[in-house]
Amino acid sequence: MEQKIYEILKERFGIEDTINSDTDLVNQLGFESISLVELASVLSKETGVKVTHSQAIKWTTVKSILSTLAANSKDNNA
């Protein structure tokens, strides 16, 4: 899943920087809330895991995205 997020960031958002799970999406990559919501939409389509806008705008790192996807995936399967 983590690799998929990196691919989406590079392909859909043109991120050329080296990124890892602790890269700050806002301060290092310049993401704004609208970009985070767009990322959530793409991830939902690609993974089948629903993410709310309010969850997406709280994302700060790839690690936080993974946590949300894992939690929501469990909720979807419950």
Alpha-carbon distance of 45 to 64, in angstroms, equals 18
For residues 42-71, average pLDDT: 97
Helix (H) or strand (E) holding 41: helix 33-47
- Count Cβ atoms below 10 Å from residue 70 Cβ, excluding itself: 12
Taking the CA atoms of 76, 20, 46 and 54 in sequence, report the sign of the dihedral they define. Answer: positive
For residues 12-34, average pLDDT: 93
Tell me, what's the pLDDT at 17?
79
- What CATH number corresponds to the domain at position 43? 1.10.1200.10
Whose tokens are 């700060």? That residue is 60
Taking the CA atoms of 15, 21, 25 and 28 in sequence, report the sign of the dihedral they define. Answer: negative
* pLDDT over 70 percentage in the chain: 96
Q: pTM score, two decimals?
A: 0.89
- Range(s) of the domain holding residue 7: 2-77
What's the structural domain count of the chain? Answer: 1
